[in-house]
Structure 1
Amino acid sequence: MSLADSDHELVVEELGREPTPAEAALFENLWSEHCAYRSSRPLLSAFESEGEQVVIGPGDDAAVVALPESEDEGTDVDADTNADTNGDDSQTYITMGIESHNHPSYVDPFDGAATGVGGIVRDTLSMGAYPIALADSLYFGEFDREHSKYLFEGVVEGISHYGNCIGVPTVAGSVDFHPDYEGNPLVNVACVGLTNEERLVTAEAQEPGNKLVLVGNATGRDGLGGASFASEDLAEDAETEDRPAVQVGDPYAEKLLIEANEQLVDEGLIESARDLGAAGLGGASSELVAKGGLGAAIELERVHQREPNMSALEILLAESQERMCYEVDPENVDRVAEIAARFDLGCSVIGEVTEENYTCTFEGETVVDVDAYFLGEGAPMNDLPSEEPAEPDTDLPDADLSAAFDAVVSSPNTASKRWVYRQYDHEVGVRTSVGPGDDAAIIAVREANTGLAISSGAAPNWTTTAPYDGARAIALENATNIAAKGATPLAAVDCLNGGNPEKPDVYGGFTGIVDGLADMCETLSTPVVGGNVSLYNDSVAGPIPPTPTLAMVGTKTGYEAPPLEVQPTAEGDSELLLVGDLALESDEFALGGSEYLAQFDGSDQFPALPSDEQAADLVGTLASVADDETTLAVHDVSHGGLVVALAEMVSDDAGLDVSVPDVSDLAGALFHEQPGRALIQTDSPEAVRDAFDDVAPVVSLGSTTDDGTLSLTVGDETITTDATEIRDLRATIEDELA
């Protein structure tokens, strides 16, 4: 680790002296891109983060959002903790956070992904919340590459192992394969927690004289320099040379920490809290006191350690997992220690909150003495050049429709992800009403009689083609997923992933995804309440696509939702409608960013999106229609286009006999990926048309059958297949990895 010359000059000017080795290392990590957002913070003001529902927005360990109050709101006993989480009639809150663990997952896919889960769960704990759901969005190189499959299998195993062991269900997410992730995969994990206004804790130190207490696993030498490692391009030898920077997780200790944290919050023993993540104890403790405008005095030798002869710098910066830093009133320290001992967790009183500087001593010698605010906020922001991305040429393939159907439906990007989510326990906690594999998951928040819909993901093909419009489309697609379950978007968090920002074309693409995501979320009145930025996702293979993962939640009364698959009905009793397809109105189909073009090496412009007014009205109307009793099934249309959505709706019990309106561009009609579209099976088609009048076009495609067959007619061609054949096509990942 080494502090950049320009940063070194600023530190010397502020301190009036040379920094100590521990101070230099602390500044190098906390002023890294990973911690200080030096290249991205100037862009993030584009996001609207306020709203009546927002209790705590960006800047804390996790955001806090109030759920809509319900007339039937009641109390509920949490199945895992036996704790009454809303017994005092306080308003119910959820917490939302998202984290990236990209570089660590390349070096060590199992531990890198596992500790990503552990970190975002501890962010949830530090707000006084109990974790109730996880969503993971994963991005790898081309599926037919052995190294991609190695990383994919390791990451999924790491996530499933950690999440299953701690008893938090993984209910949503996405998996994408793209050649530009070959040298740098992405692992983005979101967590939703549950709390209320009486239990809320923040990461802002409250009062000088309070003690700083470290609870959890002992500190070792793992993860040293992790924040710095995450802020540089991956080198060719990263898998071996950077392994010491990857943390090692212990989910069983995390489970104990979850339950201990719940007890501490129940008894009101915590004044403020911060989990130990990037930059370890130095990062957590300095950020905690800086946020409160205070300082700290820490004695590093008091930290409980698992390795001998650790230096001050190692104790300060190690990113050993499953640790929390608490601010505790001196009168409550003994009780905190008792609870830690009950859960077999280490506990050390490492110092106290002070009025002034952040100081650390080690065996009587002062090794750090700096202003906490300068340490956390003093890093200068980068003013980087930016280039607008070039628009793609139009080079359309002339593919046989039947062959194109098979290729797109069986692509790893659009194929079933059952191989992934069957490894996750998505029902633990008995809150999951709709699990993975649907447009959005639904978690039952019985405390507020509310169904919480969760959707998470991005679309690298879209944002490679058009960073700004692709990011707008990602926000609209996640909102459409939520609306398809009858829920209304409430809030979102984002994980903004990009390559080396010092390259003007890369920074231009990154700027585009920030602005696109921000604009569509504002259009949908969905505040972006928190997030994470991960840059320098660049390697010898080149930069990743600009990747704006969005994790969005929505709410509805109750926990039931229309299914994705069509339901069997008597002939003529239901109709299948396509809503929102703008291209069918104009017969102008753009295929840019589609899986069809990815399969056949074509290029095109990105499809037109609904206007701002159309997008907002469409999402609201779809949520209302999906919740109507005459609606039998709903499925959003996006990745893979209409053919994939139709194939996913067919089951052994019910098929579809559909016909696309006569158009000049048959491939365009079937495979374009304009978001904001949905298929609706209804026994009251006129009511659906009336609901979408002046909102979005509605086209009748056909009706259900009782033989599990998909008969798709477009122009003079008919594609016929059945549920068994579709399952075989969509089993690409399972067949390869089972």
Structure 2
Amino acid sequence: MLDTVSAAAQDPDREQPFAELGLAPDEYARIREILGRRPTGSELAMYSVMWSEHCSYKSSKVHLKQFSEIPQETPAGPMLAGIGENAGVLDIGQGYAVTFKVESHNHPSYVEPYQGAATGVGGIVRDILAMGARPVAVMDPLRFGPLDAEDTRRVLPGIVAGVGGYGNCLGLPNIGGEAVFDASYLGNPLVNALCVGVLRHEDLHLAQASGEGNQVILYGARTGGDGIGGASILASVTFDEDGPAKRPSVQVGDPFMEKLLIECTLELFAAGVVAGIQDFGAAGISCATSELAAAGDGGMHVELDKVLLRDSSLSPEEILMSESQERMMAVVHPDHVATFLEICARWDVEATVVGEVTGDERLRIDWQGETVVDVDPRTVAHDGPVYERPLARPDWQDALQADRAELLPRPGTPAELRATLLRLVGSPNLCDKSWITDQYDRYVRGDTVLAQPSDGGVLRIDAESGLGVALATDGNGRFAKLDPYAGAQLALAEAHRNVATVGGRPLAVSDCLNFGSPEDPAVMWQFAEACRGLKDACLALGTPVTGGNVSLYNQTAETAILPTPVVAVLGVLEDVARRTASHFAGDGETVLLLGDTREELSGSEWAHVVHDHLGGLPPLVDLGAEQALAALLVEASAGTLLTSAHDLSDGGLAQTLVEASIGGRGARVGCTVDVGDVAGGDPFVALFSESAARCVVTIPDSGVEALVALADHHGVPLTRLGTTGGDALVVRAGGEPVLEVPLAELHVTWSATLPAVLG
């Protein structure tokens, strides 16, 4: 029998499966208190998905609110839209704006790697589209278990194929990201997806249902049984030893329908027939209706029977919870409905009027002539539970930090240094990732200026002026485990540095905060410290957080992932022709090191690969030094002083010299350097320390004097290392040989790792 609102009032004691839907007893009691009765089955479904951890941020809100303390203004001017919208929108000049955001699709990608990753891309693309922007590129920060683990070999190929397959079919270049391997991600891979879009200022659209009598139109793919509770519930629980205890079906993506949806939506915007719009992501119709109504000036009435279905047997609860992909909801003035439907028909996109905006501030949903939902939409979308979870610095943190990698045995002879270099170059985190990135189209649309393996991706926005943007994503879980406050700051600092390295002036931040169970006080301490660190760093660098995502419960039984705050930074280039490449351009150029090198080996790739060690304190965070280095790099790039620039991070100076020599798409260019003036002349520390705020640049001899003056002006330490040229990497210290490795040998070692394991 249909569970209607009137039946719920007359049958208050009916048992309901709230626990199976992920609701705690006190949450269920709170719903009854809000409604003044028990919820109907449809209302219970809506509250369960919208109050899930994934949708409501109930464990993280108290910590995320500090991001609002950061002025919502970038170095280029006030933000056009920020936290609370589908994505942040930034003014980049010349009447252009860009919108970008990074989100997670971790748990679904473990259950069904291809579709989980594919629909993660599809969802973030629709977030960008809903702001009125044309999506123009994607990026994918990924984390996996050990490369040689059986489950990594199961999930990695499917995840990579899903990211590439969906993005390639949409015609969106994939311009960057990461692929990191660590034992903590075994059983909990992280699939974070970023999209960036472009719009004119006047094209900005927001998600709200305003204007009594305006029509509510659902358009795109039909609603099916796939993905019922997929992201909203699946991403809000801890996996047990055998995987997820709850296995709702993962969403199934159709990139060709999404492509039609993109073009159709952009034409609808251009026609001026959209008053408000919301994409369908986690929680499906429950999310779209409640959020649109809650953000508007009235309410909404929806007739669920009018929703076009792929499966006619679906119950109203299932229709409300379905996370079927490639769907949007628009609010349209009655005078524009005919035009709206005509445009949809022209793009072969199904559309139907399912309701209208009302003036009573209620969300009412009918099914078969009966009311099955009658709620205040704000209680569903915004007034969910807010938990101040217990948090405590873990007992083991002091011992972890005392176990310094600086005390580990280290190579001393040239032969040992050479062997260490080759071992690191071929290690999973430092090796060539082209097995992954070659599955992505990086240059479709013709506006990609830089992509992998460059430090940052660069896109041309305006062909006439050369206006463009640069993006980078970074995050180091080992650093965050050692010190989550500093680890979050180092993630931001590296992304900020990578944007500046290619010539972009950093503007703003989006983040994806991936952590273990919020029910573990140690995890909540890590999360709180990471948020505090990120807020303080954004204040220091003048880069606001525009929005982002929190992914919790990334944990198998008692084993949590490394705390992994992934930070995306977007910057602007006035002319992309003046960008700086990351690899050596030719022979006979001067190689210079910018920044100070200290003995900082804890959390490093050397400690991880050679000693399987994690302990000590991460590198020092000096945000003033980062800001000065970025200013120098941006100014030098704009003045075309530099022929290449490559930041120093994972693997230190040694890895940077290797990648600059062999990582480009053109001819390999070697170098001869002397590290006698770096780190007090200790060649091991000079090569493998991972001190932050550093960059290697090359420049013709004729420009060295100007760069020295620029570095002095910005207060950036500068050390002359040597010159480019030859077919080997040659390192000396005070004139004494340290190591020499042919580029051919380096390239074989660097490029063989992933194909040897993955085929």
Tell me which interval the TM-score lies in, with the shorter structure as reference length. over 0.9
Would you say 1:464 and 2:516 are equivalent positions? no
**Are the counterparts in 2 of residues 49 and 528 from structure 1 also a CA contact under 8 Å?**
no
Would you say 1:376 and 2:376 are equivalent positions? no
- Give every structure 1 segment of 4 or more consecutive aligned residues whose post-TM-superposition deviation is greater than 6 Å: none
Kindly state the Cα deviation for residue 474 of structure 1 after the two structures are TM-superposed: 1.1
**Are the counterparts in 1 of residues 619 and 690 from structure 2 also a CA contact under 8 Å?**
no
Partners of 2:459 and 2:381 in 1: CA distance: 36
State the SS of the aligned residue for 1:158.
Answer: helix
- 1:586 corresponding residue in structure 2: none
Query: Structure 1: where are the runs of 5+ without partners?
Result: 70-90, 584-588
Would you say 1:403 and 2:419 are equivalent positions? yes
522-531 vs 267-276, which deviates more? 522-531
- 1:539 corresponding residue in structure 2: 556
- 1:350 corresponding residue in structure 2: 354
Partners of 1:653 and 1:143 in 2: CA distance: 27
Partners of 2:378 and 2:349 in 1: CA distance: 31
Would you say 1:612 and 2:628 are equivalent positions? no
Kindly state the Cα deviation for residue 34 of structure 1 after the two structures are TM-superposed: 0.7
Kindly state the Cα deviation for residue 2 of structure 1 after the two structures are TM-superposed: 4.7
Residue type at the aligned position of 1:68: G
95-104 vs 243-252, which deviates more? 243-252
Partners of 1:496 and 1:58 in 2: CA distance: 15
Partners of 1:127 and 1:282 in 2: CA distance: 20
Kindly state the Cα deviation for residue 610 of structure 1 after the two structures are TM-superposed: 4.9
Residue type at the aligned position of 1:673: E
Number of aligned residues: 707
1:521-540 aligned at under 5 Å gives the runs 521-540=538-557
Kindly state the Cα deviation for residue 558 of structure 1 after the two structures are TM-superposed: 1.2
- 1:360 corresponding residue in structure 2: 365
Partners of 1:603 and 1:230 in 2: CA distance: 28
Match of 1:26 among 43, 46, 49: 46
Would you say 1:734 and 2:721 are equivalent positions? no
Kindly state the Cα deviation for residue 96 of structure 1 after the two structures are TM-superposed: 1.1
Partners of 1:244 and 1:14 in 2: CA distance: 28
Would you say 1:13 and 2:33 are equivalent positions? yes
1:104-503 aligned at under 5 Å gives the runs 104-226=108-230, 227-238=232-243, 242-355=246-359, 356-388=361-393, 390-391=397-398, 392=401, 393-394=403-404, 395-399=407-411, 400-446=416-462, 449-503=466-520
Partners of 1:302 and 1:460 in 2: CA distance: 47
Q: What TM-score comes out, normalization by structure 1 length? A: 0.93
Kindly state the Cα deviation for residue 734 of structure 1 after the two structures are TM-superposed: 3.1
How far does the alpha carbon of each residue in 1:539-568 deviate from its partner, in whole angstroms, 9 at most, with x for none? 136111111111111111111222222222
- 2:711 corresponding residue in structure 1: 692
**Are the counterparts in 2 of residues 486 and 626 from structure 1 also a CA contact under 8 Å?**
yes
- 1:566 corresponding residue in structure 2: 584
- 1:596 corresponding residue in structure 2: 606
Match of 1:50 among 44, 63, 72: 72
**Are the counterparts in 2 of residues 409 and 730 from structure 1 also a CA contact under 8 Å?**
yes
State the SS of the aligned residue for 1:230.
Answer: helix
Kindly state the Cα deviation for residue 653 of structure 1 after the two structures are TM-superposed: 4.5
- 1:724 corresponding residue in structure 2: 744
**Are the counterparts in 2 of residues 96 and 192 from structure 1 also a CA contact under 8 Å?**
yes
How far does the alpha carbon of each residue in 1:642-678 deviate from its partner, in whole angstroms, 9 at most, with x for none? 1000001114442100111263644322112122210
Relative to structure 1, is the Cα distance of residues 375 and 49 closer, same or farther in structure 2, using a 3 angstrom cutoff?
farther
Kindly state the Cα deviation for residue 607 of structure 1 after the two structures are TM-superposed: 4.5
Partners of 2:586 and 2:668 in 1: CA distance: 6
Kindly state the Cα deviation for residue 603 of structure 1 after the two structures are TM-superposed: 4.2
Would you say 1:41 and 2:61 are equivalent positions? yes
How far does the alpha carbon of each residue in 1:328-383 deviate from its partner, in whole angstroms, 9 at most, with x for none? 11111122112222222221111011122111110011111000111112212111
Kindly state the Cα deviation for residue 242 of structure 1 after the two structures are TM-superposed: 4.5
338-347 vs 664-673, which deviates more? 664-673
Partners of 2:409 and 2:475 in 1: CA distance: 25
State the SS of the aligned residue for 1:668.
Answer: helix
Relative to structure 1, is the Cα distance of residues 717 and 515 closer, same or farther in structure 2, using a 3 angstrom cutoff?
farther
Residue type at the aligned position of 2:640: E
State the SS of the aligned residue for 2:248.
Answer: helix
How far does the alpha carbon of each residue in 1:286-321 deviate from its partner, in whole angstroms, 9 at most, with x for none? 101101142111110100001122111011110000
Would you say 1:62 and 2:78 are equivalent positions? no
**Are the counterparts in 2 of residues 517 and 548 from structure 1 also a CA contact under 8 Å?**
no
Across the aligned residues of Structure 1 and Structure 2, the Cα RMSD in angstroms comes to 1.7
How far does the alpha carbon of each residue in 1:482-505 deviate from its partner, in whole angstroms, 9 at most, with x for none? 111111101121111110011111
State the SS of the aligned residue for 2:274.
Answer: coil
Percent of residue pairs bearing the same amino acid type: 38
Partners of 2:471 and 2:170 in 1: CA distance: 20
How far does the alpha carbon of each residue in 1:24-61 deviate from its partner, in whole angstroms, 9 at most, with x for none? 12111111111111111111133225002310001111
Would you say 1:580 and 2:580 are equivalent positions? no
Relative to structure 1, is the Cα distance of residues 607 and 545 closer, same or farther in structure 2, using a 3 angstrom cutoff?
closer
Kindly state the Cα deviation for residue 629 of structure 1 after the two structures are TM-superposed: 2.6
Partners of 1:107 and 1:186 in 2: CA distance: 12
- 1:77 corresponding residue in structure 2: none
**Are the counterparts in 2 of residues 229 and 245 from structure 1 also a CA contact under 8 Å?**
no
Kindly state the Cα deviation for residue 518 of structure 1 after the two structures are TM-superposed: 2.1
State the SS of the aligned residue for 2:202.
Answer: coil
**Are the counterparts in 1 of residues 648 and 690 from structure 2 also a CA contact under 8 Å?**
yes
Match of 1:94 among 87, 98, 119: 98
Query: Structure 2: where are the runs of 5+ without partners?
Result: 1-20
Match of 2:573 among 556, 560, 564: 556
**Are the counterparts in 1 of residues 252 and 325 from structure 2 also a CA contact under 8 Å?**
yes
**Are the counterparts in 2 of residues 708 and 722 from structure 1 also a CA contact under 8 Å?**
yes
Relative to structure 1, is the Cα distance of residues 331 and 144 closer, same or farther in structure 2, using a 3 angstrom cutoff?
same
- 1:79 corresponding residue in structure 2: none
State the SS of the aligned residue for 1:131.
Answer: strand
**Are the counterparts in 2 of residues 396 and 602 from structure 1 also a CA contact under 8 Å?**
no
Partners of 1:624 and 1:606 in 2: CA distance: 33
**Are the counterparts in 2 of residues 100 and 187 from structure 1 also a CA contact under 8 Å?**
yes
